[in-house]
């Protein structure tokens, strides 16, 4: 045998190699065994079986399919319809307040807590309806006007684009519509013209294109001003494209952005994707659009299929999953399956509630509040609210003597009642009304006192106007002209005082007096004042009440009043009309109750009190289009209105309407006849 380490021959039976000392039994083998191992052929590993050709083909097919899918996804991504424009809560809201000079009422801006961000200094702020909601400020800019010209401020109040345009719209996708004379163009956020004024009308950019009017037809341009759809349609939904489609008709535009005729929906190439087959259409929102068939409204999807059968007298677009619909003079809400969420008549929803996500509700004697479209109360009913004109985010605009912003927490953010909470404000307003009557009682008492005691003239003591505590006969120290409560100086949470102004006494005889009434601490209301002229006046917010303050014009039943804020004087516009009880519609006496045709204002209101009266009001001629809204909706409330020939409309008239039937109306007539009772609000709209 041999040593496995050194190869030396070793005698059989030895355990170690004699030459190297290596262990022999751990792996030593005989020469024969070793040789046999060396001579044994080594078998090669069997080759792997060949892969079937079908598996390779399957892999190739899968790869091709994946590429096709990815390509389809890429094509859809670049050709997908633009999402519907969503109105965002800007966090900055317009309000009216006294300007720095203390003489005029101007427009400023506040946040949702009422903090003044921009002091009142502008004549007006732009507001534009977009897809069922009002846009005041957008993309960090707010449209403002001064001396008849419009520009833009940024969110902190800096004048970013000087006032130089005749009208503006909100910024949308980086561009804003501006008007110079009768022509419309578009500017960027530096104020530079991107598209020169050249169109006779225009809308905002949505999805990279904007609706414009040229040569009497409507078409669409891109952001370079190039027509992507030539102006070929006589009528197009004013919201333009929404979710990749735009309503287009062969007829003409009507109220509230609805278009009439034989209508359908065009795609981005100007081709009817949903053929003209409807009487009227509105914009797509959340995948559905209202359409009218046989004078009833229903809803279709983007394929043109009817999803909710036509059954409603009126319909709005969907917001947050719900739409407002009208049936037989009552409003309710539905979900996307057409099921009622709020049954028509379940709540007395006000017609102007279609503007915004929240809905104004009149609860009769309890007042007006706000609910969500599925019926959750956000603002409990308050008798302080006379109407709600718009909602936006955390703020809504309520009629509380004037239109003021109110937070959804119920806090009044501007106006005479700034800081008041709605749950207690109604009582404070009642107190103010009582205080006005008390002021008139005191005026009469002062007159009676001076007549009874001419040597004394007017008195500087409320106690002298009151009764004697002992019940003795009236004298100059206790005239008995007012009751003991008013003579104490405190009544209905108001403090009353009287004084004799300096220089108005001669020889102990007083020839004038100064009455003042202020709400007690913790209560809200206007400060009132009067003197020997007999006029009750009220202090403008932030000022003292003086003989030059505005006159309070609360009227008796059966009278008519209009109010509005003049942008030139800052004083309220007022007008009255006598009774017209002969059953005719001749408007006599007082055919023209007020001529506002030359006034520069953006809104005014009309309060119609119960009684038989009627008359005309002339709308400012600068208003090419405007909205008329009803803000009261009592059961016995009714309104008749007519509009007559003017430069923007043909002759026409409408029958009397119930408040719930009265929608927001936009038209061009400048001569309006009104009759009935309730409150109307008129506001200027941008030119179409």
3-state SS, 14-80, equals CCECCCCCCECCCCCCCHHHHHHHHHCCCCCCCCCCCCCHHHHHHHHHHHHHHHHHHHHHHHHHHHC
Dihedral (CA of 19, 23, 26, 30) sign: positive
Q: What is the pLDDT of residue 579?
A: 31
Average pLDDT over residues 177-188: 94
Residue 253's pLDDT band (cuts 50, 70, 90): low
The first and second tokens of residue 34, run together, are 């070793």
pLDDT for residue 661 is more than 60: no
pTM of the predicted protein model:
0.66
Q: Which residues contact 305 (CB under 8 A, 6 or more apart)?
A: none
Q: What is the DSSP string of 492-510?
A: TTEEEEEEPPTT-EETTEE
Q: What is the tens place of the pLDDT at every residue in 450-490?
A: 999 999 999 999 999 999 888 888 999 999 999 999 999 99
Q: Higher model confidence: residue 61 or residue 275? A: 275
Q: Rounded to whole angstroms, how far apart are CA atoms 293 and 245? A: 19
Residue 189 has pLDDT above 90, yes or no: yes
23 contacts 16 by C-beta, under 8 angstroms: yes
Residues 59, 54: Cα–Cα separation, whole Å: 9
- Nearest Cα to 419, choosing from 437, 405, 399, 403? 405
Only one residue has tokens 């939904």, namely: 237
Q: Which residues contact 136 (CB under 8 A, 6 or more apart)?
A: 90, 92, 93, 94, 125, 126, 127, 142, 170, 392
pLDDT digits 0-9 by tens, 565-604: 322 223 332 222 233 333 333 333 344 555 676 677 776 6
Q: What is the per-residue pLDDT across 229-238, written as a single tens digit (0 to 9) for each?
A: 999 998 888 8
Share of the chain above pLDDT 90, in %: 46
Say how far apart CA 295 and CA 265 lie, in whole Å: 19
Quote the pLDDT of residue 645. Answer: 26
pLDDT digits (tens, 9 = 90+) for 510-558: 999 999 999 999 999 999 999 998 889 998 777 889 988 888 865 322 2
Distance in angstroms (rounded) separating the CA atoms of residues 147 and 124: 10
SS3 601: coil
CB 277 within 8 A of CB 289: no
Residue 217 to residues 2, 174, 236, 238, Cα–Cα distance (Å): 112, 25, 9, 13
Can you give the pLDDT at residue 162? 96
Q: How far apart are CA 416 and CA 397, in angstroms?
A: 14
Using the predicted structure, report yes or no on whether residue 642 has a pLDDT greater than 70. Answer: no
Helix (H) or strand (E) holding 306: strand 306-312
Q: Is the pLDDT of residue 242 over 50?
A: yes
How far, in Å, CA of 167 to CA of 145, rounded? 8
CB distance 271 to 263 below 8 Å: no
d(CA 203, CA 185): 10
- For the record, the structure tokens of 674 come out as 């009104």
Kindly tell me if the per-residue pLDDT of 269 is higher than 60.
Answer: yes
Alpha-carbon distance values, 678 to 401, 535, 605, 609, 663 (Å)? 13, 26, 11, 6, 15
The span from the CA of 514 to the CA of 562, in Å, is: 29
CA 128 to chain centroid, in Å, comes to: 9
Spatial distance between the Cα atoms of 481 and 449, rounded to a whole number of angstroms: 8
Q: What region does 295 belong to: left with phi over 0, alpha with psi -120 to 50, or beta?
A: left
Give 370's strand partners. 360, 379
Instruction: List b or e across 569-586, with b for residues whose CB sees 16 or more CB atoms inside 10 angstroms.
Output: ebebbebebeebeeeeee
């Amino acid at each position: 045998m041999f040593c496995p380490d050194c190869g030396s021959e070793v005698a059989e039976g030895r355990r170690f190699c004699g030459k190297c000392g290596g262990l022999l039994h751990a792996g030593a083998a005989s020469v024969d065994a070793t040789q046999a191992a060396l001579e044994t052929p080594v078998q090669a590993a069997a080759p792997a079986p060949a892969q079937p050709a079908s598996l390779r083909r399957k892999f190739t097919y899968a790869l091709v399919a994946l590429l096709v899918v990815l390509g389809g996804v890429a094509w859809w991504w670049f050709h997908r319809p633009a999402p519907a424009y969503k109105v965002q809560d800007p966090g900055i809201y317009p309000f009216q307040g006294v300007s720095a000079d203390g003489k005029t009422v101007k427009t400023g801006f506040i946040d949702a807590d009422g903090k003044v961000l921009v002091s009142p200094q502008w004549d007006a702020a732009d507001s534009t309806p977009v897809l069922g909601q009002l846009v005041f400020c957008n993309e960090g800019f707010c449209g403002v006007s001064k001396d008849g010209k419009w520009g833009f401020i940024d969110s902190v109040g800096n004048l970013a684009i000087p006032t130089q345009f005749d009208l503006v719209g909100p910024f949308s996708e980086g561009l804003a519509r501006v008007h110079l004379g009768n022509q419309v163009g578009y500017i960027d956020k530096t104020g530079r013209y991107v598209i020169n004024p050249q169109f006779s009308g225009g809308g905002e950019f949505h999805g990279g294109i904007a609706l414009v009017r040229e040569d009497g037809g409507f078409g669409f341009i891109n952001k370079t001003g190039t027509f992507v759809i030539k102006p070929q349609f006589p009528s197009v939904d004013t919201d333009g494209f929404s979710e990749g489609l735009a309503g287009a008709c062969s007829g003409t535009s009507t109220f509230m952005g609805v278009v009439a005729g034989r209508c359908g929906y065009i795609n981005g190439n100007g081709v009817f994707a949903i053929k003209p087959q409807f009487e009227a259409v509105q914009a797509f929102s959340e995948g559905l659009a209202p359409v009218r068939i046989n004078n009833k409204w229903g809803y279709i999807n983007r394929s043109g299929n009817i999803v909710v059968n036509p059954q409603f007298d009126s319909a709005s677009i969907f917001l947050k999953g719900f739409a407002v619909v009208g049936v037989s003079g009552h409003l309710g809400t539905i979900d996307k399956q057409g099921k009622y969420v709020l049954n028509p008549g379940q709540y007395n929803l006000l017609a102007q509630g279609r503007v915004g996500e929240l809905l104004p509700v009149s609860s009769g004697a309890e007042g007006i509040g706000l609910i969500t479209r599925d019926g959750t109360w956000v603002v409990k009913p308050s008798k302080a609210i006379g109407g709600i004109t718009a909602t936006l985010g955390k703020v809504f605009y309520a009629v509380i003597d004037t239109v003021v912003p109110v937070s959804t927490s119920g806090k009044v953010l501007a106006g005479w009642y700034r800081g008041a909470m709605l749950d207690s404000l109604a009582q404070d307003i009642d107190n103010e009304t009582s205080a006005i009557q008390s002021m008139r009682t005191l005026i009469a008492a002062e007159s009676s006192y001076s007549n009874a005691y001419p040597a004394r003239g007017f008195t500087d003591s409320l106690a002298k106007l009151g009764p004697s505590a002992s019940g003795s006969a009236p004298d100059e120290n206790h005239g008995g002209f007012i009751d003991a409560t008013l003579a104490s100086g405190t009544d209905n949470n108001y403090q009353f005082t009287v004084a004799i102004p300096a220089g108005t006494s001669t020889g102990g005889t007083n020839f004038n007096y100064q009455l003042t009434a202020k709400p007690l601490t913790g209560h809200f209301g206007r400060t009132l004042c009067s003197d020997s002229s007999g006029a009750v006046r009220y202090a403008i917010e932030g000022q003292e009440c003086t003989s030059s303050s505005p006159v309070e014009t609360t009227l008796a039943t059966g009278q008519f009043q209009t109010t509005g804020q003049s942008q030139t004087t800052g004083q309220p516009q007022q007008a009255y009309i006598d009774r017209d009880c002969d059953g005719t519609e001749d408007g006599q006496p007082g055919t023209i109750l007020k001529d506002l045709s030359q006034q520069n204002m953006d809104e005014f209101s009309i309060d119609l009190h119960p009684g038989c009266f009627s008359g005309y009001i002339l709308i400012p001629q600068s208003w090419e289009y405007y909205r008329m809204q009803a803000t009261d909706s009592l059961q016995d409330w009714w309104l008749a209105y007519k509009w007559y020939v003017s430069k923007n409309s043909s002759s026409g008239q409408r029958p009397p309407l119930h408040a719930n039937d009265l929608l927001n109306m936009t038209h061009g007539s400048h001569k309006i006849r009104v009759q009935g009772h309730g409150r109307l609000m008129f506001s200027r709209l941008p030119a179409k």
